[in-house]
Amino acid sequence: MKVLIVDDEKPARDRLRQILDDEADYEVVGEAGNGQDAISLAARQKPDIVLLDIRMPGLDGIETAHHLNELEHAPAVVFTTAYDEYAVDAFEARAIGYVLKPVRRSRLSAALAHASRLAGTTLREVAAEAHLERQRRHVCATVQGNLKLIPVEDIRCFIADQKYVRAEHEKGRDLLDASLKSLAEEFADRFVRIHRSVLIAVDRIERIEKTAEGKSRVVLRDGSHVDDKELIISRRHVAEVRRRLKES
């Protein structure tokens, strides 16, 4: 089984590697000191298991696990942490294991053995079914072969673009390998659907106006990168957009 070690503290990574070096059934394929590097490495190395710290600067382990679950080859996650108050979050993430620091060989071996007993397909299914109650703070795009994290608070809108979704944000636009439906469900408190192909950040809406043709259109506070035709509200969604705007 291929294993990726993720921890922002080198002594912790060294301890995990030391244990794994004595385990014939596991191969360490990489180490990462933060969540973003972990996602990039996992996309390239396709590990079966990720040993993932939870409390890290930037992307913490829970959010990192969410992004790992979206990879084509989604790894099983074994959380390693010094803080047992994260156990509920780990459970919500459908973690295969949860090991408290300082990591004991026996507990880590047991968690790895549990993951190993699952077939590869089952590992992917467990990871794919993960649902994190806590909302992500970033979405992930692939740009020229590299993973790019985009803060959700910087995104004006999500627009369905053939088999991808285009995120229009403060620094430009990027394609996401995600469905508009899943984004609508995850970020329902921040975005509103104006028609079947577009979600708009409620806090980016300045007003609703009528076009010369009598249609309703969203006017963004800063919509310089968004085509006016993409901001037309379908009749079935006008009432909901007005309600969300009034409540914001």
**Mean pLDDT (whole number) for 135-159:** 86
Say if CB 226 and CB 168 are below 8 A apart: yes
Q: Are strands 76-81 and 205-210 parallel, antiparallel or unpaired?
A: unpaired
Residue 18 lies in a domain: yes
Each residue of 226-235: pLDDT tens digit?
787 889 999 9
On the question of pLDDT at 131 being above 80, the answer is no
On the question of pLDDT at 169 being above 90, the answer is yes
Residue 159 lies in a domain: yes
Each residue of 41-53: pLDDT tens digit?
999 999 999 999 9
Question: Whole-number mean pLDDT of the chain?
Answer: 85
Judge if 9 and 104 occupy the same domain. yes
Least-confidence region, from 12-16, 131-135, 201-205: 131-135
**Mean pLDDT (whole number) for 70-87:** 77
On the question of pLDDT at 84 being above 60, the answer is yes
Judge if 108 and 215 occupy the same domain. no
Judge if 47 and 121 occupy the same domain. yes
Q: How many domains does the chain have?
A: 2
Q: Which of 26, 33, 77, 86 is nearest to 51 (CA)?
A: 77
- 132 pLDDT band (50/70/90 cuts)? very low
**What does the alpha-carbon distance between residue 36 and residue 235 come to, in Å, rounded to a whole number?**
41
**What does the alpha-carbon distance between residue 90 and residue 96 come to, in Å, rounded to a whole number?**
9
**For the chain, what percent of residues have pLDDT higher than 70?**
85
Beta carbons within 8 Å of 214's beta carbon, 6+ residues apart: none
Judge if 124 and 144 occupy the same domain. no
Residue 212 lies in a domain: yes
